[in-house]
Amino acid sequence: GGLWAVVPAAGRGARFGGALPKQYLPVAGEPLLAHTLRALFAHPGLEGVVVAIAPDDPHWPGWTAFEGRPVRACSGGATRAASVLAGLAALPAGVRADDFVLVHDAARPNLRPADLAALLERGREDPVGAILAAPVRDTLKRAGDDGGIDGTEPRERLWRALTPQLFRRLQLERALAAAAAAGAEVTDEAMAMERQGLRPLLVEGAEDNLKVTTAADLALFEFLLRRRAG
Ligand code: C5P
């Protein structure tokens, strides 16, 4: 089957504040989500995208295609994992059980084409799959209840999990369903796979693959976009 991506975009953006969920904030005349889809479709091998949106999302632009390739919308769930599960269920029948599927945050518009290509190349050679990630640069402190420092975490082996993440369709479905059944909150797809005893590969990606969470992130993305346009 062909390569598809699932984009969870059903978050309400509570951390950003304001009425408009962050994936719809206007950037250069378009919703942030349009920039995210463009970054994914920059890969010529991507056949289509399923976007998981909030039920009765008034902001959804109603796309059925983007850059000439199909876009499907489905209703997401109460958690990111539930939204991804809904997206996987909405993939076309042509995507087979052992086909790799990308999962990419709606709020990560600054994905670089070279990173997406590297993830696909290395992830498809891995028995489990892979995620984009960036090494931790800061010194990490563990806080006590009183706000004092209980300790310092060695950062040498710590990575920040980014997206896209690349897994086989059925394996990912089963891992996410198992986590949900156990009541375990998984904050990315790899975490659900890890709970199954699987070991996804880390593929180093650019640090500017930012998740737009705050106004400062949005300003940074606007800057990066302008710089790219030259
Ligand atoms: O809020 P957070 O950073 O976890 O969101 C990551 C991505 O997951 C966002 O693109 C958000 O729209 C999506 N999400 C979702 N369904 C939820 C919660 C978050 O699709 N219930």
- Residue 66 belongs to a domain with what CATH number? 3.90.550.10
The mean pLDDT of the chain is 95
What's the CA gap between 54 and 57, in Å, rounded? Answer: 5
For ligand 1, say whether the CB of 10 is within 6 Å of any of its atoms.
Answer: yes
The predicted structure's pLDDT at residue 13: 65
Output b/e per residue, 117-144; b: 16+ Cβ within 10 A: ebbbebbeeeebbbbbbbeeeeeeeeee
The predicted structure's pLDDT at residue 43: 97
Whether residue 154 is contained in a domain is answered as no
**How much is the average pLDDT of 5-15?**
85
The predicted structure's pLDDT at residue 139: 96
Whether residue 14 is contained in a domain is answered as yes
DSSP state of 119: H
What's the CA gap between 121 and 85, in Å, rounded? Answer: 24
Whether residue 91 is contained in a domain is answered as yes
CA dihedral 27→30→34→35, nearest 10 degrees, is: -30
At 152, the pLDDT band (50, 70, 90 cuts) reads: very high
Polymer length of the chain: 230
What's the CA gap between 155 and 140, in Å, rounded? Answer: 7
Tell me the pLDDT tens digit for each residue of 77-122.
Answer: 999 999 999 999 999 999 999 999 999 999 999 999 999 999 999 9
Phi, psi of 174 (to 5 degrees): -65, -40
**How much is the average pLDDT of 35-59?**
97
Look at ligand 1, atom 21, and give the residue with the nearest C-alpha.
79
Please give the number of the atom of ligand 1 that sits closest to the Cα of 21. Answer: 12
Domain count, the chain: 1
- Two structure tokens written together for 198: 């699987």
Residue 86: give the domain boundaries: 3-135+161-229
Q: 80 C-alpha vs ligand 1 centroid, how far in Å?
A: 5
Whether residue 176 is contained in a domain is answered as yes
For ligand 1, say whether the CB of 105 is within 6 Å of any of its atoms.
Answer: yes
Whether residue 143 is contained in a domain is answered as no
For ligand 1, say whether the CB of 52 is within 6 Å of any of its atoms.
Answer: yes
Q: DSSP string of 81-132?
A: HHHHHHHHHTS-TTS-TTSEEEE--TT-TT--HHHHHHHHHHHTTSSSEEEE
The kind and range of the H/E element at 133 are strand 129-135
Say which amino acid occupies 136: V
- The ipTM assigned to this model is 0.96
Whether residue 147 is contained in a domain is answered as no
The predicted structure's pLDDT at residue 179: 98
For ligand 1, say whether the CB of 163 is within 6 Å of any of its atoms.
Answer: no
Whether residue 146 is contained in a domain is answered as no
Tell me the pLDDT tens digit for each residue of 173-205.
Answer: 999 999 999 999 999 999 999 999 999 999 999
At 16, the pLDDT band (50, 70, 90 cuts) reads: low
What's the CA gap between 14 and 85, in Å, rounded? Answer: 22
Output b/e per residue, 204-219; b: 16+ Cβ within 10 A: ebeeebbbbeeeebbe
State the pTM of this model.
0.96
pLDDT at 18 over 80: no
What's the CA gap between 193 and 168, in Å, rounded? Answer: 11
What's the CA gap between 206 and 139, in Å, rounded? Answer: 19
- Least confident span in 18-27, 76-85, 91-100, 136-145: 18-27
Look at ligand 1, atom 1, and give the residue with the nearest C-alpha.
11
Whether residue 177 is contained in a domain is answered as yes
